[in-house]
Amino acid sequence: MKSVAKAHANIALIKYWGKEDEQLFLPSTSSLSLTLDKLYTITSVSESDRDVFVLNRQIQNEKETQKISRFVDLFRTNNQSVKIESINYFPTAAGLASSASGYSALSVALNDFFGHHYDVEQLSMLTRRGSGSATRSLFGGFVKWEKGSNDQSVATPIEKEMDIEMIIVIVNEQQKKKDSRSLMKVTKEQSRYFESWTQYNDIDMQEMLTAIENEDIHQIGKIAERNAMMMHATLLAIEEPFFYIEPQSLEVISLIQELRQQGIVAYYTMDAGPNVKIITNSQHRPLILERLSAYQTIVAQKGPGATLL
Ligand code: ADP
Ligand code: DP6
């Protein structure tokens, strides 16, 4: 028997950065994202005599296998071992949310493989424990993940049809130097701005919900931009300051600022990596792409939730 699932990555407009409870993956902030059509993962789960994890056609080492085995344990029945084969159809660990689509696809496949029939709320709580951002990839379009408390922390979709697109500018597709999990832990422990970050995040979330309700692309972009930069600012205030932003990221940001002065809808967000995501709409996309012709780009629109294939 083999269970196969597909899930799309999501990029946060309001970021998750910091955990209140590391075991339960309870986040310090609520977050909100857009699931993207062009970035996705396909994962299969089949029987095996020991747990094996093959990512992008490469057998993973002991550490990666143990990490995924612990997650499988949340679903496992009868001590059944599994072979997990997964392919990310975009760069892995480059700040493009491979852990989000990866763990979301895996949850859906494991739910089927072990015959659980968990509903989306139960699945959201379990998926979170693979990778926080993965809980948002269970759903399509705009998704809100409430920080909640006592393990009650789930993602829910926000029903809204609007013209919004993301242009992903790949300035570097290498694997990141520091993974988001350990760096968000250090941020929570050390950053002088961490408390402010959580407080302003609440304000940004309220304003973002209103902006989405009003389909106001300018407000959505503006709030997403300041929220992302505030997340990055927390990293500048740790004992050994760290930045994911690279010189080329800044070049792209300057270009976006220039375009905006010319009346183009273009705002940016960045995650745990140097790649820049531009928030725009279908009308302004061609002009932005023309100006960014020197860069490798992926144009993404709203993508669907995770599904069993
Ligand atoms: P990203 O920015 O791509 O999300 P992270 O450092 O947050 O990078 O996550 C990358 C890690 O997520 C990988 O090292 C691996 O452990 C895990 N991961 C990536 N893709 C998958 C996948 N398809 N299935 C399961 N785990 C995955
Ligand atoms: C910057 O979900 O990868 O992309 O829960 O430890 O697996 P873990 O972290 P992860 O962190 C994502 C951080 C982010 C912001 C976001 O997606 O909200």
- pLDDT the model gives residue 177: 78
Q: Whose CA is nearest to atom 7 of ligand 2?
A: 131
Paired strand residues for 45: 3, 84
Confidence class of residue 219 from pLDDT cuts 50, 70 and 90? very high
Give the Cα separation of 81 and 185 in Å (integer): 31
Position 93 pLDDT exceeds 80: no
Give all domains of the chain, ordered by start, each with its CATH number: 2-161 (3.30.230.10), 165-300 (3.30.70.890)
Give the Cα separation of 146 and 168 in Å (integer): 26
Please state the pTM of the whole predicted model: 0.96
Neighbours of 172 (CB within 10 A): 16
Confidence class of residue 99 from pLDDT cuts 50, 70 and 90? very high
In this structure, which ligand is nearest to the CA of 269? 2
Which of the two residues, 174 and 268, has the higher pLDDT score? 268
Position 176 pLDDT exceeds 80: no
Cα 183 to ligand 1 centroid, rounded to whole Å: 15
Cα 58 to ligand 2 centroid, rounded to whole Å: 23
C-alpha Rg value of the chain to the nearest Å: 19
Asked if residues 40 and 303 have their Cβ atoms less than 8 Å apart, the reply is yes
What's the one-letter identity of residue 61?
N
Residues 100-111: what's their mean pLDDT? 98
Residue from 11, 99, 137, 270 whose mutation best tests the ligand 1 pocket (most atoms within 8 A of CB): 99
Position 54 pLDDT exceeds 80: yes
Cα 254 to ligand 2 centroid, rounded to whole Å: 26
Which of the two residues, 177 and 144, has the higher pLDDT score? 144
Token digits of residue 213: 């309700």
- pLDDT the model gives residue 86: 98
CB-based burial, 239-267: b 16+ in 10 Å, e otherwise = eeeeebbeebbeebbebbeebbeeebbbb
228: Cβ–Cβ under 8 A, 6 or more apart, which residues?
Answer: 15, 268, 269, 270, 271
| Terminal Cα-to-Cα distance of the chain (whole angstroms) | 13
8-42 tens-digit pLDDT? 999 999 999 999 999 999 999 999 999 999 999 99
117-160 tens-digit pLDDT? 999 999 999 999 999 999 999 999 999 999 988 788 999 999 99
- pLDDT the model gives residue 172: 86
Cα 99 to ligand 1 centroid, rounded to whole Å: 3
Mean residue pLDDT across the chain:
96
Confidence class of residue 116 from pLDDT cuts 50, 70 and 90? very high
